[in-house]
Chains A and B, each alone.
Chain A
Amino acid sequence: MVLESPDIQKRLEKFRKAPMDGQALKRLVEAGLTWLRTNQQTVNALNVFPVPDGDTGTNMVLTMQSAYNEVSNLGHRNIGEMAAAVSQGALMGARGNSGVILSQLWRGFSRGLQGKEVLDGPSLVKAFAEARDTAYKGVVRPVEGTILTVAKDVAAAAEAGFQFTQDPIELLERVVKAADESVQRTPELLPVLKQAGVVDSGGKGLFFILEGMLRHIYGLPLDTPLVSVQPLSAMNLESAMEEVEEGQDFEVVVDFYPQGELDLQSFYGRLEEMGTSIQVGEGDGMYRMHIHVPLENRYRPIDYIMELGTITKVAMENLVAQMDEIDQRTRGDKLELANIEPGQIAVVTVSPGPGLSRIFASLGVAAIVEGGQTMNPSTQEILAAFENLPTDKVIILPNNKNIVMAANQAKEVTVKEVIVVPSRTVPQGLAAMLALDPNGELEAVAKKMNKSLTLVKSGEVTIATRSVEIDGVNVEKGQVIALLDGKLVCSAASAEEAVLCLLEKADAAQQELITLFYGEDLTITEANRIADKVREVYPRQEIEVQDGGQPHYLFIISVE
């Protein structure tokens, strides 16, 4: 660390003199959020599976954003009250499993500060300990090598540090260091991380939040990422839906070979004058630059990079037009949702595509939350979907393993009687819907729906977002890959090949019915062509083709 700098020393003096009250906590939360957002892409890139799914960095940023929004206008000086408000905001905005765990950390943290006017050493130690305990309790089977481990090591560092210092700032320094080291150790604890060659993304996100707070205290900038170059394979450009900031209309990606050594510091500096969402990757001497720029700046990165070396490829996309297209597609016609009467059971389901929403509606779903692999809905969104239904009995089908926790959290914050039937895939959700009896007894119905989750095998076919070897399958970025019940089973050159490989792995020849839900990236003609191939290979099985409309996933497949 750069503690020797006189500026920082002066700033620390100032911090030590002022009381660490609610307003100070608010600024720390903002700093944590800002620094996490700055490093969002880095966290997102730490994805174990090469599939477009809910990005951890994005989920954690949105959760922190909600936490900060809750307090941004609060004038509380009392740190206990402020922390409680932060916790409430995080809870409501929690998205994805990492976001939910983050919100539980905040809940525990605020509990540790309950009744406190200002922050002191003992209460900080207690807050980190409570955060750890609450987060662990919130997870059914805690896994080490994740954000939980980092939270545990953070709490331990605070406790250990207390023997040497009672100063909250010094404690925070120790905590940030411990978090950093803990993140580096995660691959040793969790084999899938080691296999994929990454550290845990949730843990890394937590580190950035804590480090952001410390950087704020030091007075270091929070809006520019540490200059870094990722391996090309880790660049996650196509994943998820790109967030489009106001005015940043164009995405420009340039591949180039620099002449001589590339001075990253000045390279980033110049790019920052042009746009946002800067990422730089390198592999075998070739560099790839990614940036979002306003319309008038769209050629500037190219002109600039031409000065630095030889450009081999330029790609430019109009993000605004793309977003419009997505909007158009998602609007569609109005869904006919089930009319629920008081006393009946209402099912709320998460659906990743308009076609799937229509199918869910036809099976008697009362409310639909849009979202799925790439857009994990928040606790608040799930809550809003059923809060106004005229019944107190609610069943939630998350249809995605990364939404289960947010659903559980929605259950915690409502007065309604809610049961989460933890469907991890769309086919599971559909199977559960078939067991719904809206007039039945809530627990019995949920039990039946739970049981029916095992009736189907779920397949997903998508494009690999990076090259990796996992579960013994070698994947090149851009290949079509297939997952069976969440496990990577095939990589192939075409969708057709991937579908057939998947069905073989699913032992489809021993099953009765194969349903292909095709995504928005496929035409019905192409989907039918592939379905015909499937019919040729599986003449004894019934093959059904449905318009799913989901993004990123060429097919969602149920085999039963």
Chain B
Amino acid sequence: MKIGIVTDSTSDLPEDLIEKFGVEVVPTLLIIEGKEYADGKGISRETFYAQLPGMKVFPTTAAPSLGEFSACYRHLFERGYDHILSIHAAAQLTTTVNIARQAAMDFPGQVTVVDSGSLSLGAGFQVLAAAEVAEKGLQAALEAVRWVQERLRVYAALDTMKNLRRSGRVPGAVAALGGLLSIKPVIELASGVVKALGAVRTTEQANERLSSLLRSCAPLERLAILHTGAETRARAFLKRMMEEMGRSLPRDILMLNVTPVIGTHLGANGLGFAAVQSLLAA
């Protein structure tokens, strides 16, 4: 049985891995001042994050359409795949999973849709794990996804509360945080829920919190350093963590500018990570 793997562009998989594992990516939409950008095309992430703090109109996002999913699935079946595993961003945060499920109804018993409960490489790692074992069949792929989900930890320190508040996609308790004082929230994304772990007031303090969170996750099987237009900071953070944690970090560490579709809700200059703990830690 030949298993095809589908995800959407909020999984943030780098181009080379998409190609290597033949993953199909359905684009999500980014709308800046009325202009639509299929995620990843038309505006570089660097440019986007440089402009984000000054944007007068808050950029909005849109999930892929039902038609796009249907077309994607049909295309794969035409190419000889027997079953499709479709892994997407957390249902609590986007409607993407629901749209995928509706599209799947046209292919009864042939498409398995999975809610990753995460975002960016938090979802991306699940896609990768599934793709790595897809040859062994659907059960193996689903087990790989569950394995990652159980050991996944996603944290971020945002530079501002502004975007998170405006996005309206976080619980009131998180959005209310700070209020008068300018603060930098430290958040956790787990099982589709954004939770505030507290807040700090400076970048230095944020880095401190993230580093202790990362240390608490060790040892790690997979790690991605995620940022929103803060590459210098991300590199410095990674360098420091490699010095401090050495062997308890995985050999291949991804670092990337998070997709603007997510980043617009987080704000620029944020730093975070998605990590999968190894069996030892769990």
Give residues in A with beta carbon < 8 Å to B: 358-359, 361-364, 430-431, 434-437, 448, 455, 511-513, 515, 542, 544, 546, 558, 560
Q: Give the CA-CA distance A363 to B176 in the complex, in Å.
A: 8
The closest CB in chain A to the CB of B205 belongs to A455
Is B110 among interface residues, defined by CB-CB distance under 8 A?
no
- Verify A363–B204 contact, CB threshold 8 A: no
Report whether A363 and B178 are in contact in the complex, using a CB–CB cutoff of 8 Å. Answer: yes
B202 at the interface (CB under 8 A from A): yes
Is the Cβ of A546 less than 8 Å from the Cβ of B181? yes
Q: Could you say which residues of chain A place their CB within 8 Å of the CB of B180?
A: 358-359, 362, 546
Which of B16-24, B33-41, B71-79, B192-200 is near enough to bind chain A?
A: B192-200
Cβ A513 vs Cβ B201 within 8 A: yes
Having A363-B181, A544-B182, A560-B205, one finds 13 other A-B pairs with CB under 8 Å, namely A361-B179, A362-B179, A362-B181, A363-B179, A434-B183, A434-B199, A437-B197, A448-B198, A455-B201, A512-B202, A513-B201, A515-B201, A546-B181
Contacts of B200 in A (CB 8 A): 434, 455
Contact with A along B208-239 (1 / 0, CB 8 A): 00000000000000000000000000000000
Top 5 nearest A-B pairs (CB, nearest first) are: A362-B179, A512-B202, A434-B199, A362-B180, A359-B180
Sample (28) of A-B pairs whose CB atoms are under 8 Å apart: A358-B180, A359-B179, A362-B176, A362-B179, A362-B180, A362-B181, A363-B177, A363-B178, A430-B181, A431-B201, A434-B183, A434-B199, A434-B201, A437-B198, A455-B200, A455-B201, A455-B205, A512-B202, A512-B203, A512-B204, A513-B202, A515-B181, A544-B182, A546-B181, A558-B201, A560-B201, A560-B202, A560-B205
**Chain B interface category by residue count:** 10 to 19
Residues of A within 8 A of B201 (CB): 431, 434, 455, 513, 515, 558, 560
Residues of B within 8 A of A515 (CB): 181, 201
Contact residues in A for B183 (Cβ distance below 8 Å): 434
A193 to chain B minimum Cβ distance, whole angstroms, is: 37
Q: Which residue of A lies closest to B202 (CB)?
A: A512
A259 to B197 CA separation, bound complex (whole angstroms): 71
Known: A512-B204, A560-B205. A359 touches B177 (CB 8 A): no
Closest chain A residue, CB of each to CB of B209? A435
A518: min CB distance to chain B, Å: 14
Which residues in B have their C-beta under 8 angstroms from that of A364?
177
List chain A residues, Cβ under 8 A from B203.
Answer: 512
Of B176, B179, B198, B204, which one neighbours A434 at CB under 8 angstroms? Answer: B198
Find chain B residues with CB under 8 A from A434 CB.
Answer: 183, 198-201
The secondary-structure label for the interface of chain B is loop
Contacts of B181 in A (CB 8 A): 359, 362-363, 430, 515, 544, 546
Of the candidates A436, A512, A542, the one whose C-beta lies within 8 Å of that of B198 is A436
Give B contacts to A, CB under 8 Å.
176-183, 197-205
Chain B nearest CB, measured from A78 CB (Å) = 53
Q: Which of A363, A448, A544, A546 has the most CB of B within 10 A?
A: A363
Chain B residues with CB under 8 Å of A430's CB are: 181
A513 and B160 CA atoms in complex are apart in Å by 14
Write out the residue numbers on chain B whose beta carbons fall within 8 Å of the beta carbon of A512.
202-204
Within the complex, the shortest CB–CB distance from B147 to chain A, in Å, comes to 28
| Minimal beta-carbon separation of A335 from chain B (angstroms) | 11
A298 to chain B, nearest CB (A): 43
Most B C-beta atoms less than 10 A away, residue of A359, A430, A434, A437: A434
Q: How far is it, in angstroms, between the C-alpha of A362 and the C-alpha of B204 when the chains are bound?
A: 23
Q: In the complex, what's the smallest C-beta–C-beta distance from A344 to chain B, in angstroms? A: 11
Residues on A with C-beta less than 8 A from B197 are 437
B-side contacts of A437, CB under 8 Å: 197-198
Q: From residue B172, how far is it (CB to closest CB) to chain A in Å?
A: 11
Residues of B within 8 A of A544 (CB): 181-182
Tell me the nearest residue of chain A to B185, going by C-beta. A434
User: In the complex the two chains form, what is the Cα distance from A358 to B181 in whole Å?
Assistant: 10
Distance of B210 from chain A, by nearest CB (Å): 14
CA of A287 to CA of B205, assembled, Å: 54
In the bound complex, how far is the Cα of B197 from the Cα of A435, in angstroms?
Answer: 8
Q: Give the distance to chain A from B81, nearest Cβ to Cβ, in Å.
A: 45
B67 → chain A, closest Cβ, in Å?
Answer: 43
In this complex, what residue of A is CB-closest to B198? A435
A72 to B235: give the CA distance in the assembly, Å.
Answer: 70
Nearest CB on A from B265, distance (A): 22
Chain B residue with Cβ nearest A558? B201
Q: Give bound CA distance, A137 to B180, whole Å.
A: 41
Which chain A residues border B202 with CB–CB below 8 Å?
511-513, 560
The residues of B that contact A358 with a CB separation of less than 8 Å are 180
Task: Give bound CA distance, A361 to B178, whole Å.
Answer: 9
Q: How far is the CB of A184 from chain B (nearest CB, A)?
A: 48
- Give complex CA distance A448, B205 in Å: 13
Chain B, residue nearest A544 (CB):
B182
Q: In the complex, A72 Cα to B197 Cα: how many Å? A: 51
Q: Once the chains are docked, how many angstroms separate the CA of A434 from the CA of B198?
A: 5
How long is the Cα–Cα vector from A450 to B204 in the complex, in angstroms? 18
Q: Which residues of A are found within 8 Å of B204, using beta-carbon distances?
A: 512, 560
Distance of A366 Cα from B57 Cα, bound (Å): 36
The answer to whether B178 touches A362, judged by C-beta atoms less than 8 angstroms apart, is: yes
Bound Cα distance A431, B184 (Å): 12
Say how far A322's CB is from chain B's closest CB, in angstroms. Answer: 29
Cβ–Cβ < 8 Å partners of A558 in chain B: 201
Q: Please, how many angstroms separate the alpha-carbon atoms of A542 and B203 in the complex? A: 11
Taken together as a complex, chains A and B put the C-alpha atoms of A81 and B203 apart, in Å, by 58
**Distance (Å) between the CB of A212 and the closest chain B CB?**
47
Give CA–CA (A515, B181) in the complex, Å.
Answer: 9
Once the chains are docked, how many angstroms separate the CA of A260 from the CA of B169?
A: 81
Return chain B residues, CB-CB under 8 Å to A448. 198
Shortest beta-carbon distance from A82 to chain B in Å: 49
A434 to B185, CA, bound (A): 9
Chain A residues near B199 (CB-CB < 8 A): 434
Alpha-carbon gap, A364 to B198, bound state (A) = 11
**Most A C-beta atoms less than 10 A away, residue of B176, B182, B201, B204:** B201
User: Which of B177, B180, B200 has most A Cβ within 10 Å?
Assistant: B180
Report which residue of B176, B183, B204, B205 has the largest number of chain A beta carbons within 10 angstroms of its beta carbon.
B205
Q: Measured between alpha carbons, how far is A506 from B178 in the docked complex, in Å?
A: 25
In the complex, A143 Cα to B205 Cα: how many Å? 35
Q: How far is the CA of A542 from the CA of B177 in the complex (A)?
A: 20
What is the CB-to-nearest-CB distance from A232 to chain B, in angstroms, rounded to a whole number? 42
Contact residues in B for A542 (Cβ distance below 8 Å)? 182
How far does the Cβ of A546 sit from chain B's closest Cβ, in whole Å? 7
- Chain B residue numbers with a CB within 8 Å of A435 are 198
